[in-house]
Every structure is written in C-alpha cells, then in structure tokens.
Chain A
Amino acid sequence: MTDPQLNRRDFLTLTAATAAASAVPWAHADSAHVPLGKAEHCIFVWLGGGMAQIDTFDPKPLGDATSKPSRPGSYYKSIETAVPGVRVTEHLARTARVMDRVTAVRTVNHRVIDEHAFATNLVHTGRMISGNVVYPSIGSIIAHQRGAANPSVPAYMLIGYPNVSRGPGFLGAKSGFVYLTDTTSGPAGFTRPEDVPPDRAAARSRLLEPLQNRFPEGSSPADYRAAQADALRLAGPEFMRNFRLEEESSTLRQRYGGEFGQRCLLARRLVQSGARFIEVSHNLNFINGTGWDSHNTGQLHLHGLIQELDTALSALIEDLEHQRMLDKTLIVVATEFGRPAAFDSGGGRGHQGTSFSLVLAGGGLKHQGAYGATDDNCKLPVENPVSIPDFHATIHAALGINPRMELLDGSRPVPITDGGVPITKLFG
C-alpha cells in the first residue's frame, strides 16, 4: 500500500524522497575513491545523427573530399583556442575563445556503429539492450536521484521528440520527461490550447469540481485529484513563464542565434527555475539536409550546422557564467557516434564508433580544453580512452551522484553505470 501523502505528490516530490532514501551507498560500493562534484544541473545537448569529430572538436590535417580518390582528413581548417595546444575547427571560433571552460573528451568509444537508434540508446542509457531490463536514460537517472531543485517544476525536461532512449526504463513514469518539440509550442500537456484563456480555464475547473469531489479523501481517485491540482499549478503562470523567451533582452536572444540557440536559452531559464536535467536536441536538419548525419551531400553545408552549435554553445557558456551559474551547471554535448576521416563516395562521411568526441563544459569541473588523444585519422584512442560508462560516471560524479550506487529494477539491483569510472583529472 502506498503512502497517500507521498503518492499525492509523486511526480514532483517523490523523486526527491527516493533520492534521500537511496543516497546512502550500498555496503560494497566503494565511494571513497569516487570524486564527487558539486554541479546542481545538467544541460544535455544532443546532436542526433553523429557529429563528425574530425570536422569539429578533434581536427586533423586537411583532407580532400573531391579529389579522386578522396584523401582522408578534416574538411575544414583548424584554429587555436584559449587553451594552448588545443585546436578546434575554424567554425567553432566562438567556442574556441572559451575553451578553458570546456573539455572535449576525444577518446569516447563503443562498438556500435550500424544504426542510429541502437547507438543513441547506448549513449543515453550507458548499456546495451538486454531484453530483460529496460535501462533508464541518464536524464531519468539524474531526475530520480536528485529530484528537481524546485519542487514546483519537473526534474527532467526534453526539448525535442520523445523517444525510447530518453525514457525512464524501469524507473517508471515518475522519472520520465516533460517534453516540447520546439520553443514556440510550449510543453505538451501544460500548454493550454489557444482558445482556452485563463478565464475559460477557470470556468472549466469549476465545472470539474463536483466530479472530483465524489471521491473521499484518502481514496485512490482522490490521489488523482491531487495530481490534477499539481497539473493545474504547472499549467499556471509560475512555471509557464519560463517559456516566455521574450522576457529576455533581444541582444541576448540574438547572441544565442536561431531555434537551436533559443532552445539553449530556454534550457538556461529552466535551470534557473529549478529543473535538474534538460535535454536539448539539435537536429533540425534544415541547414544541410541530413543534420549531423552528414553522409554524401550533407557534408556540403555541415559548417552551417557547426556554426549554429558554436553560436549557441558559446552564448550558453558565457550567459551561465554571467549569471554565476556555470559552475553549478554541467553542459554536455553528446552524439551517438563520430565519423571517419575518410569520405564516402558522395563526399560525406559514414559512421565511426571506435573513437569520437563528446564535450563537457562548466559544472565546476577542472577543464582541460581537451582530454585524450586519438591517432592521425582519429580512428582509435592512443591515450586515455573513455568508455561510455566512464563518460556517464563523469557526468553523475559531477552532479554528486555516486556512479556505483545501485538502483532497483523491482528487486534486482542495477548499478547506475556499468562499472564506469569518472575522469579523475577533471575533478579538483
């Protein structure tokens, strides 16, 4: 039997209660050697399709896509950054200037390359598919462990399309996300239809009252009534004003750039309001057709996509810093795999999982500009390889979560990461 008091506030506050209960590490979880950071929030930028590391954060000598045969290598020139010796592509010029607040982890690797969904699932859950356990996404785990910083907002928000990989898995619906597909539409479920202004909404609520009051306090349907009250509050002005980007100065909005930038700005506002984990998807594939999945002709305008990322990412870092929130907010730029140095027959690039770059910024970490080194074709790590569980462990640790702690799938203990070890060098 569930405690009605807990049940009543399930969606928003039970997560915090659960976190408190399971914050004590299991007897054999050796927490002494796990460095823990003090970040409070995470903005997880998702570059669906597979960002080409060689054309972004792990540049190599120039190749040639058009010669016959084509010559492997970067498509763009590279530039110096704020961190001596660390170079990035010329289209990341703004990010280059704040690279001292960034670490491009260049040696992330896995063995999955053939299909986006499979690799996306791996990078979101940190696990392979088993058929016996549905693993939660990293957003759900963090929401589950830490709850929202403010009990009146959801812990986990998604700006992008709902999908399996972003789901709560065995943690259940209460650890799921609230989503919006773009910054103009508002979050699904909490945005009232255009023809329902506040006075009409109030009239509707009054009509609903007698139907709600049929059930005595303490009954199961009364729990639902309490959830209705929560929903009503979330659809109200306090939470919904976070979505009014027009409250920001037009200078700032312009600094963030187009729709992707506006999503990042919204993420910052949600962080300020107390959301714990916000996934921001960047793949509108209007700019180059394919988005980050730059096969064939997708390569031709890839720089447009990179520049959009550069604008938004650098603005987000600087804005958070200006708001004195950068140390409390870990920014992650993630993608399902990288791309090889060689070009395909259409002048683009295929998929590569053996080594690719994922990026961390802010969050109070001791940033290096770059971590790990790859070979001349950035095909394999030559120094400091980082597995997906290690990368996840780094994110969890930065947010003060012991990555070895065990969650329960029913009665079965499942460690938060599959043996992941945080990148020690990033912790002070």
Chain B
Amino acid sequence: MPLRTDCICRISEIHPALRLQSNGRNCDNHSLPQGSRDPFRRSSPKNSRLAVDPTRMTHPGFQLLLILTLAASSAIASEPARTVHVEICEQGLDDKDEWPKITPQPVESFTLPAVALDELPPKYVDDGIRGARPSPSLLRMTATVTVPEGKHRLLLRSRSAARLTLDDQLIVETPFPPKNGGDGSQPDSEHLEALDLGVGYRFAPGGEYERIADWQSHGTATPLKLELFVGGREGAKGRRVELGETVVAISLAGTTDWHLLTADGSMIPYTDAAWKRYKSHVSRMLTERSTAIRKELRARHDSYWNQRHDAAINWLKTTREEPIPAPIASLESSNPIDRFLAAKFVAVRSEYSKDRTDDLAIVDYFRDIKPLLESRCTECHSGPGAKAGLRLDSRSALHKGGDSGPAVVSGDAANSELIQRISSTDDETVMPPKGTRLTKDETALLSRWIQQGAVWPELPLVRSEFTAPCDDLTFLRRVMLDTVGMPPTADEARTFAADPSPDKHALWIDRLLDDPRWADHWMPLWQDLLAENPNILNPTLNNTGPFRWWLYESLLDDLPVDRMVTQLIQQRGDAAAGGPAGFGLASQNDSPFAAKGTILSAAFLGVEMKCARCHDSPTGSAKQEQLFQFGAMLAAASLVVPKTSSVDADKLHAGGRQALIQVTLKPGSKVEGDWPFPQFADVELAHDLEQPRDRLAALLTVPQNERFAQVVANRVWARFMGRGIVEPLDNWEKGTPTHPELLRWLGREFVRGGYQIKPLARLILNSAAYQRAVDVNLRTVDPLYAAPEPRRLLAEQVVDSLIAATGKPLRVEPLCLDLNGRRDTANSIHLGTPHRAWMLASLSNERDRPSLSLPRLQALTDVLEALGWRGARQDPTSTRDTAPNALQPAILANGVLTGWLTRLSSDHPLTQLAIDARTPESLVEDLFLRLLTRPPTSEERQRYTVYLTAGFQSRVMEPGTVQPTTTAHVVPKFVTWTNHLLPESNTAKQQVALEAQRGDPPSPRLGPAWRQRCEDVIWALINSPEMLYRP
C-alpha cells in the first residue's frame, strides 16, 4: 500500500477545537475571599494585610479532576465515535501486579486518532504546576473499529502489562515486567532486540513487550478495549508513570503491511516516517490540551493575584514617582529609557571635557587604577562590611577613609596611608594581609595617581558620541537572538529588510515577545539563577528535581515573576515530575535549605550569603544567623547548623593576625525561621499569614520590597544591555548603581506592568540605546551605553542558532538511562528528547561504561560545555565564563555536531538549496543570509563564488544516474540500564558512537567533488567568529 501522507491532516480536521470541561467538583469550599481593602497602603504598614492567605487557595489535598472531551462527541451520541477514547485512572489499583476486579474510574480523558500513544500528558495540580500520578496508574483506550472481514494479525506493543479485547474477547496481552530493575545485573534479554516486522516497518524503540495474535473480523463495528498499567511499584517512589510506545497495529489478511488501528477506518502506516507525523500530531494536540488545563487552573487563582496587583498599583500611587529627565536636544528621547541615559551621558561627558586627556603619563582612574583596586583591595574594602571601615569603592569613601583616618591625601602620596600600608615590610600591617604583595610598578602607579590628585570621575567616558542606529538586518539578528535565542530565517530577513513601514522595529518586537520560543531563550538564565541540577541517574551530586518543566511552562504562560517566586518558595507539585518542589531537593547536601537560602537571596535580593553557610561574611553584611533564619522559613522548619559546614577554631586562628572570618553560630545550634531582611520589607506586612513559606514569599514579592522589583528589573536590563545598572547582579553590596534613578524607575515599571518581564523587555528593546550599532573595539560594556560591544552569545544561543540556521534535522537519543522505566523514580528520570539546548543536562554517570554513554547527545554537550554551559549546576551563577579557549574553535571546527550540520545529506535543507541554486553567486548570497543574516562583502562573495564555480554546472546528478540509498535492514540493539552490564550492550553503544561520529551519508544527488566544496563553505560560515557574537 502506498504511504498515505494525507491521513494525519484529515484526522486533524476531524478534531475541532478542544474545549475544557470541569466535572463540577469545583473548589467552592476554597473560594477566594473578596475584599476591597487596600493591603499595601504605605502610610500604615502596621495595618497592612495581605488580603488572602495563599494556602487557602492552594490546599495541598485539593485536586482538580478535569475531563477533556471533544466538543462534538457529546452532540452526536447516536453515531459510533470515530475516535479512540483514552481514559487515565488513578485509583482502584491494589498493591499487587494484578488486574483490578472493579473497573477504576477515570480522572482525565482525551481522544486519539488511533490506538497508539507514547506520551502521557503531565498531571497538573494547584496553580497549574506539575504533580504526580500514582504509580501504577491505569490507561484505558476504547473505540469502535470496523475492519474488513478476514483473519488478520494484530500487534500489541506495551512497556508494561496490557490486555486488548475485541468484542469483549481477550485477543492479546503483555505481562507484568519483573521487579528489581535496580542494579542492572540481571539482564532482561527480551528487550535487547526489537521484533522484526519486515522491511520498511518500524522497530519498537526499545523496552516494549511485543506480542502478535490472530483475529477473525466479521467486518462489522466491533468494540475495542485496551487497558494497560503505567508505572508500577519499585523501590520507595515507584516506577515513572510514563508510557513506552503503546501501539495496536494490524496486518490485514493476505498482506504483510502493518498499520495503526484506527476508529475511523483510515490507514496510518506503522513506519518510521508515518509514526513521526502521527506522534507530532498527537504531541501538538496534547500540548494544547495541557496549556488549556494550566490556564483553567491558574484562572482559579487570578482573582487573588489581580487583587494583589491592584494593590500594588495603588501602592505605586501613594509613593513618589521617579521623574523622567527632560529630553536633550540632538539625542533620541522618545523612550523614557533614552532620556535617563542621555541625562547621565551628558553629565559625565561635560565632567570629562574639563580634565580629560589622552596623555598616557596622566594616570586614568578607569584605565589604570580601578582594575588594580578591584583585583587587590575592594574584595575586603567595599560595601557595608568593609574591613576597618575603609571603602575603596567610591570617590567620597576614599577621601573619607576608615577607622585610621583618610586613606589618601590628594597630591601627597608619601603621606597617604594607602601607600604606606601597601609598601610596608611589617607582616602585621602590610596590605593585602594575605597573598602576594603589590608589585613595585603597581605601587608606583597608585603613588602617581595620588600625586596627580587622585582624580576619580563618576563613570568612564568610553565614547564621546553615541553610535548610529544599527542597520535593519543587524537589528533583526540581534533582537531575535535576544528574544527567541536564534537568528531569523532567510525569509524573515528578506521580509524585514523589504518592509518600508517606519514602525517595523516595534512591530517585530511585539511579534517576538509573543513567540513561544521566548520561553526557550529565557530558560538558561533561570536554570543558572536557581541552580537547576537534575541528574538522570542516581542523583547524589547536590541534585535538584527537574523543575525545568515548571520554569518552562511558567515562562510560556507569562506567569508574573511575583507569582512564580511564590510558587517556587511554596515548593508544591511533584519534585520528580518537574514541579517547583524539585527546587527544594539537594541530594547529599548537609544543609539543603541553607544552600537554597543562598540561592534565593542572591537571585531576588542581590544579597550574597554563600559565606554564611559556614561563617559570617568576612566583607559583606551576611551573618550566619540570617541565612539560617531565611533557610528555616524556606524549609518551614527549624534548621540545625551542621558540623560539616563550619570552620574549626584552630583553622580560624592559624595565621596569627586577626582572623578574617567569624563563626557566630556553633555547629548544632538550632535556628528558627525569621525574616532577616527588615531593611527590604517590614515583617508586619505578612502578619496574617501563618505558613512560613507563604510569609517568606509575600515579604519577598510585595511592592513595598522595592529591592525585589529592582533586582529583577536589573537582571532583565543586564540580559539585553550586557551589564546591570548594579554589578554584580547577585551582590549589590559590592556595587553602586550607575543610573540610580533609572533603576528605581525600571523597578516601578516592573511593578506597574504586573511583575511581568515582557512589558519591561518591550521598553528596553524599543530604546535607541538597545538599537545602536556595535563599536567593535569595545571589550567591555560601556556603562553609559553609547554603543554596544561585541558580546559573546550564551552556549545555548550558539548551538540553537547553528542548528536552526543550517536546518539539519537533529537526531539525538532520549535523555534517559532507564528507557524501559524499570527503576525507582528517585533514581532515574527521563528528561525527554532535547530539541533546544536548555533541555540538555549532564550526561555523566561517573561509571565509565560505554553502555551508559549517550554519544549523540554528547555531540551537543561537548560544544555547550566548551562554550561555558554547565551540565551540572551545583551552585547558582549570574555570569558565564566567556573567555576564549582553544577547545571552543576546535570543537566547532572538528566536532561531531559540526560534521552533522555540514554534511549535505539527503534530509539536509541546504542540499535542496544547493540543488535549486541558479548561480554560485546566488547560493553564496543565500548561505550568508541564512547563517549570518547579512550579504557577503565583495571579497567574501568573490572568494566563495570562485570556490563554488568549479563543477557548479554539473553538480546535480540526474535522477536516473543516482543509486537510491538503501538503509540496511538491521534490527537495532536496545541498550538501557537493565541490560547495560551485558558485553553486547557495550559493543552496541560503541557502534552508536561510531555512527554518530560518521554522521549521515551524503546525498547522492550532488556530485561528491562539488558537494564537498559546498560543505566547505558551510563549514567556514559555521566557524565564523560572528556565530559566537551578538551583532
């Protein structure tokens, strides 16, 4: 039978828009109190109350039961349903591997085109977060099938126990899998090889039981029922409630073909290609369904959040607005941001015009002194905890001096204490107290600077003029990399360039802010910030749950940040399924919640408390007790200071000189939860919240906590502008805002925009400052934003861009080492099959077994890690390592991924582009636009055109002369945890590694010599430094 490519499309036409129905068990006993009080009145914080106890609206025992049905199905009840009805049952399964005697009731349902499904939709609880299904759960598919009369063969594939009945007759079943999938030492050879259904037909991906049975059809409508167990008991948490490829396929009498069994009689071949289309259709449908469910669940809490946001707006009204500076003639001023920036720029420039000089004999503070102070002095001598009261982080503080008087006497280096201390030969007084002394040159430089008057301008004037707006294509590439994490397609680039409308920049910004890829692009920031660190096997290295899924869906749904942070702190949902509960895990950590406290305080308050894990911060304000109080609120329990995170007294005093650090909480001390940051929010604001986590969430996110809004706004600003208004982003004690008024204004705009990132992003992206042309010679971000600098892209942006721009379909393994789901959820998770770089995670299992390698994913992580991505995020970070090293260009030049993207294989879209090209020149133009979003320069055009001209006319092989490529019909070996100790599993994975390294064969449509030339051009574009830098 010829492949019917139309059937999937037809099926999707049968399916009208999905409608969400609730089964009526609404949460009326948890309805939200309606109040008109303004809880955030600034005038009387003592009387302020959060209107609602958030725990009342997210009661943990409260589970929504949602039934999703087809709009049409209830209307035409008389006709047999032409779809497969799927029900998920969670209750009524007893504690044994036995079929339930009483039919369990469904809690969710949906429909499918065929009796075939390989993913169970996530379960959503509470405020639309992922929860756990009981393991095992039961899946039931029912349909009415009409099959021509005859004796047919039926195939059942299922990971776990399943039974198929037709006309209430048991036709075929699969067994309950054996217990103890734990140690892999009892290999289950049944699953090593898939059943061979004949040439062209699909091998089971692995781990499924496969059974074939004969069935006599009478040609009439026949009721079908397939029931199967999903998950099962194993270890402490049970197996993952996850399907394998669950399929009932049919081979009609007298044929050898296999098709999926459908309810409407359509024929969907069970081949790799048709399955891919079917799978993506079902996946899309289930994703839409999940989105609708989340929306519905979240809507139930909207009134509470609307109330809070209304109160926030009222609070804004009662507090001082930040005035926007007057426009400055000749400088762009339509966007408030530009007016703030212009005001500061003009002020600094005028300061410079007085005493600026390019004379190298004159010591320049920013060029010569600041780097020196920062590398040797300001670690201790800055911020409120500065040693000896001396701060060297501002002009005024320097002159004011510390406990022993002024550090500097302008114009008199010899009498400046700073110089005396750094040149002292006395171990008791010399600075710095530890480490190497300053060199003679460094001391001389400081002396000269003081001698010349210790001139310290407010900010460096890197450029005295703004650069012009960047050109259209540069803007498009930049804004797409910054919003969706990948460059425009060639068509998008052409369309944008040709668009004459004056407001096209703003229109595209709006369009990109609505693009779902926005969520993908923001994932790395959140994963870094919150140290998301799942491990696919035996998590023991400070691992968290995979709360990436919660992050992703929050970003996808535009959840306001205050609401996100509240969910994060409440840690509800299921840790293994991807709920925010996973944030609370820290395997093998001696004080998980102290560690989490350091993450949250740095992420959302700009307070660095890492030091306070073991001792008071030597140079900051963070005290041990504050961290443990904060952690105890997050833990919702008292915390005990562990013995393993302290510093022994003998170590403290090993040096002789006064110890730099103080241990103020002895190991074993018990600390109760308490809000340690009264300077940011008055604890009274959360007076009427009982649960410590709710109190903590509220105190962090109320508008009165201006620090929170500003820290988040500063992070958004840094994401687009390259640096924060305050640096470091996570330690505000060590930095001074460059534009304090703008910072305050942005914080308030963030609150005004309902704590959503996109309104803030829209403001920044539309500013002239964002859209200026790069000054390629800038090596760091200009704090006055006169021009952007060439900025290294994140590893994820590079990899996603390369894959998107070449268009080569990505074929990688699922990110899982327990593909048949035999292990305990606590020890093995499945992170899906990555299609964006953020979806990857550490592949390491510290076992060095070839059978546990994932060679195709390794091709991606090799590139990512060389470029600064961390597969394991044991600690949070706000900055990535962007320094160049030889491994980066090496892996991009010779690595496996580049091999895949460069090779002009049959499924590579650039193969078709090369075949269709009119001239070498037009091909070069197309390739440049596609990969670099720009036309080639004349030199580039010339060189590449010449290179592609040789053999161009005869490059395409005539169809008649082309040998069709035949893929050898080899049954693949299935390797996973349960059989990984078999020697043949090692051999099989080594073979996979070899094939990954070789890549797909080249397309026979192009003659080899010219094809290689074209590949060389693609290789060069991939390896262009432009691929790594934001334009």
Binding site for B on A (CB under 8 A): 1-2, 4, 7-8, 10-12, 21-22, 24, 26-28, 30, 46, 48-49, 114-118, 120-121, 128-134, 154, 160-165, 167, 172-174, 176, 178, 181, 185, 188-196, 200, 203-204, 206-208, 210-212, 214-216, 218-221, 223-228, 230-232, 234-235, 281, 283-286, 289-291, 293, 295-298, 336, 346, 406, 411-413, 419
**Most A CB atoms within 10 A — which of B535, B613, B848?**
B848
Question: B852-876 vs A: 1/0 string, CB under 8 Å?
Answer: 0100001001100110100110110
Q: Which A residues are CB-close (under 8 A) to B862?
A: 162, 188-189
Contact (Cβ within 8 A) B610 A132: yes
* A176, B862: Cα distance in complex, Å: 12
Chain A hits for B645, CB < 8 A: 130
Of A114, A178, A210, A283, the residue contacting B887 (CB under 8 A) is A178
Q: Give the most central of B540, B888, B893, B899: most A CB within 10 Å.
A: B893
Docked pose: A192 CA to B436 CA in angstroms = 43
Name the A residues within 8 Å of B619 (CB-CB). Answer: 411
30 residue pairs from A and B, CB less than 8 Å apart: A7-B883, A10-B886, A27-B433, A114-B540, A116-B538, A117-B535, A117-B541, A128-B588, A131-B875, A161-B848, A162-B865, A185-B997, A188-B895, A189-B891, A189-B893, A200-B1012, A200-B1016, A203-B1016, A206-B943, A208-B1020, A211-B1025, A220-B790, A223-B884, A225-B1025, A231-B886, A231-B890, A235-B890, A284-B849, A285-B849, A290-B185
**B178 part of interface (Cβ distance < 8 Å):** no
B885 and A190 contact, CB distance less than 8 A: no
Query: Cβ of B420: which chain A residues have Cβ within 8 Å of it?
Result: none
Decide: A219 and B937 in contact? CB cutoff 8 A: no
Contact A173 B883 (CB under 8 A): yes
Assuming the A-B contacts A207-B1020, A286-B983, are A190 and B874 also in contact, with contact meaning beta carbons closer than 8 angstroms in the complex?
A: no
Q: Among the listed A114, A129, A195, A208, which residue makes an inter-chain contact with B1024, where contact means beta carbons less than 8 Å apart?
A: A208
Asked if A227 and B886 sit within 8 Å, CB to CB, the answer is yes
Partner of A419, one of B651, B789, B939: B651
Task: Name the one of A8, A164, A174, A219 contacting B844, with C-beta atoms under 8 angstroms.
Answer: A164
- Interface flags, B24-45, vs A, CB<8A=1, else 0: 0000000000000000000000
Task: Find chain B residues with CB under 8 A from A116 CB.
Answer: 538, 846-847
Question: B776: which A residues are within 8 A, CB to CB?
Answer: 215-216, 219, 221
Using A161-B853, A207-B1016, A220-B792 as known contacts, say yes or no to A28 and B656 having CB atoms under 8 A apart.
yes
A28: which B residues are within 8 A, CB to CB?
A: 434, 654-657
Cβ B655 vs Cβ A224 within 8 A: no
| A206 contacts across to B, CB distance below 8 A | 943
Query: Assuming A132-B875, A207-B1020, A221-B1025, what are 19 further A-B pairs, CB within 8 angstroms?
Result: A10-B884, A24-B435, A28-B434, A30-B654, A131-B542, A132-B613, A134-B875, A162-B862, A164-B872, A173-B881, A174-B883, A188-B891, A189-B862, A235-B890, A286-B987, A291-B847, A291-B848, A295-B185, A346-B185
Assess the B848–A281 pair: CB atoms within 8 A: yes
CB-defined contacts of B185 to chain A, threshold 8 Å: 289-290, 295-298, 346
Q: CB within 8 A of A227: which of B644, B846, B884, B982? A: B884
**Is B894 in the interface zone, CB < 8 Å from A?**
yes
Are A173 and B845 interface neighbours, CB within 8 A? no
Give min CB distance, B903 to chain A, whole Å. Answer: 8
Q: Report the bound CA distance from A150 to B588 in whole Å.
A: 40
**A280–B857 Cα gap in the complex (Å)?**
23
Contact residue among B183, B589, B842 (Cβ-Cβ distance under 8 Å from A131): B589
- Chain A residues contacting B1017 (CB-CB under 8 Å) are 207
Partner of A11, one of B875, B887, B986, B1028: B887
A46 to B651, CA, bound (A): 32
| Residue ID in chain A nearest B651 by CB atoms | A419
Whether B983 and A289, one on each chain, are in contact in the complex, defined by CB atoms closer than 8 angstroms, is yes
Question: How far does the Cβ of A335 sit from chain B's closest Cβ, in whole Å?
Answer: 11
Within 8 A of A (CB), among B530-564: 531, 535, 537-538, 540-542
Given A46-B848, A188-B895: A121 and B881 interface contact (C-beta under 8 Å): no
Nearest chain A CB to B894 CB, angstrom units: 5
CA distance A134 to B1020 in the complex (A): 36
Interface string of B101-131 (1 = CB under 8 A from A): 0000000000000000000000000000000
Query: CB-defined interface of B586-620 with A at 8 Å, one 1/0 digit per residue?
Result: 10111010010010000000000011010000010
- In the complex, the chain B residue whose C-beta lies closest to that of A28 is B655
B831 CB to closest chain A CB (Å) equals: 16
- B residues in contact (CB < 8 Å) with A: 183, 185, 371, 379, 427, 433-436, 531, 535, 537-538, 540-542, 586, 588-590, 592, 595, 598, 610-611, 613, 619, 644-645, 651, 654-657, 776-777, 779-780, 789-790, 792, 842-851, 853, 858, 861-862, 865-866, 868, 871-872, 874-875, 881, 883-891, 893-896, 899, 937, 939-940, 943-944, 947, 981-983, 986-987, 993, 997-999, 1012, 1016-1017, 1019-1021, 1023-1026, 1028-1029
Chain B residues, Cβ within 8 Å of A115: 538, 540
CA distance A107 to B1029 in the complex (A): 52
When the two chains form the complex, which single residue of A48, A131, A154, A285 contacts B586, counting CB atoms closer than 8 Å? A131
How far, in angstroms, from A413 to B618 measured CA to CA in the complex?
Answer: 11
Residue of A nearest to B993 (CB): A181
Minimal beta-carbon separation of B999 from chain A (angstroms): 8
Which residues of chain A are within 8 angstroms of B881 by Cβ–Cβ distance?
172-173
What is the chain A residue whose CB lies nearest that of B884?
A: A227
B653: shortest Cβ distance to chain A, in Å?
A: 9
- Contact check, A2 vs B981: say whether CB atoms are below 8 A apart: no
> Residue on A with the closest CB to B648?
A419
| List of A residues within 8 angstroms of B858 by Cβ | 162
With A190-B890, A231-B886 in contact, is A49–B874 under 8 Å at CB?
no
Contact of A211 among B779, B789, B940, B997 (CB under 8 A): B940
Asked if residues B886 and A12 are in contact (CB atoms below 8 Å), the reply is yes
Contact of B848 among A7, A129, A160, A189 (CB under 8 A): A160
Please, which residue of chain B has its CB at the minimum distance from the CB of A221?
B1025
Contact A412 B611, beta carbon cutoff 8 Å = yes
A77 → chain B, closest Cβ, in Å?
27
Given the complex, which residues of A lie within 8 Å of B894, measured CB to CB?
Answer: 189-193, 196, 235
Complex contacts, A215 vs chain B, CB 8 Å: 776, 790, 1025
- Would A210 and B850 count as touching, CB distance under 8 A? no
A226 vs B884: C-alpha distance when bound (angstroms)? 9
The residues of A that contact B844 with a CB separation of less than 8 Å are 117, 161-165
Q: Are B865 and A173 in contact (CB under 8 A)?
A: yes
Give, as a whole number of angstroms, the nearest-CB distance from B284 to chain A.
35
| Complex Cα–Cα for A205 and B893 (A) | 10
Measured between alpha carbons, how far is A22 from B844 in the docked complex, in Å? 32
B883 touches A48 (CB 8 A): no
User: Known: A208-B1020, A211-B1025, A227-B886. Is A133-B875 also a contact (CB below 8 A)?
Assistant: yes
**Interchain CB contact under 8 A, B884 and A411:** no
Contact status B886-A11, CB under 8 Å:
yes
Residue of B nearest to A208 (CB): B1020
What residues on B are CB-neighbors of A193 within 8 Å? 894, 899, 997, 999
CA distance A174 to B894 in the complex (A): 19
| CB < 8 Å neighbour of A130 from B595, B891, B983 | B595
**Which residues of A lie under 8 Å from residue B589 when comparing CB positions?**
129-131
- In the assembly, what is the distance between CA of A298 and CA of B865, in Å? 34
Query: In the complex, what distance in Å separates the CA atom of A299 from the CA atom of B645?
Result: 39
Bound: A296/B1029 CA distance, A: 53
Q: Is there an interface contact between A118 and B993, defined as CB atoms closer than 8 Å?
A: no
A contact residues around B537 at 8 Å (CB) = 117
Q: Is the CB of B654 within 8 A of A284?
A: no
A residues near B848, Cβ cutoff 8 Å:
46, 48, 160-161, 281, 283-284, 291
Q: CA of A167 to CA of B865 in the docked complex: distance in angstroms? A: 10
**In the complex the two chains form, is B1016's CB within 8 Å of A2's CB?**
no
B792 closest partner in A (C-beta): A220
Chain B residue nearest to A193 (CB atoms) is B899
Contacts of A1 in B (CB 8 A): 371, 779-780
CB distance from B445 to the nearest CB of A (A): 15
Q: Which residues of A contact B899 (CB under 8 A)?
A: 193
* A220 to B981 Cα, complex, angstroms: 48
